[in-house]
């Protein structure tokens, strides 16, 4: 029986075979799915902002790309995953505010990619940018990311 684990904003979860990770409301936020195909362990982080600027607050670790991804990797390693087997899929990073000069979604995507690169984790799929929100469902059983958006259909990554 599939167990559904909901990941909120500035949150993350780890899943095992037959588990499913879900996050809603990815506007400018980015959902980062990490997957170890051998162990079928997956993790999903829902980040809100690109950088912590060393905020130091433990309560905000999962809020930022530069701290959440490393924390997710560490948590997955504690469960038996190996960093050198991890691959990533990401979604979100939309430009949700028409008249804004600051595109936080674009900055979030750039920060996520920078952090994945720093950690030597290969990004194998993405559905990012544009101007609409997304919902992500990630299967730990097979590593498939399902991205849905109102009026945009379903994408399987």
What are the residue numbers of the active site?
Answer: 29
Report the C-alpha dihedral over residues 102, 58, 120, 73, rounded to 10 degrees: -130
Number of residues that this document lists for the chain? 157
Nearest to 14 by CA among 72, 86, 100: 72
Sign of torsion over alpha carbons 124, 143, 116, 113: positive
Tokens of 49: 């902002």
């Amino acid at each position: 029986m599939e167990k559904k684990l909901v990941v909120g904003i500035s949150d993350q979860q780890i899943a095992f075979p037959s588990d499913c990770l879900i996050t809603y409301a990815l506007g400018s936020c980015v959902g980062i799915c990490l997957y170890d195909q051998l162990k079928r362990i997956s993790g999903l982080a829902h980040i809100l902002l690109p950088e912590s600027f060393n905020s130091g607050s433990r309560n905000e670790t999962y809020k930022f790309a530069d701290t959440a991804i490393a924390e997710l990797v560490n948590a997955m390693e504690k469960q038996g995953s190996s960093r050198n087997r991890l691959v990533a899929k990401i979604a979100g990073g939309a430009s949700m505010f028409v008249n804004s000069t600051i595109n936080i979604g674009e900055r979030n995507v750039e920060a996520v990619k920078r952090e994945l690169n720093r950690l030597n984790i290969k990004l194998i799929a993405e559905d990012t940018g544009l101007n609409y929100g997304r919902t992500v469902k990630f299967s730990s059983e097979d590593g498939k990311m399902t991205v849905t958006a109102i009026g945009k259909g379903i994408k399987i990554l």
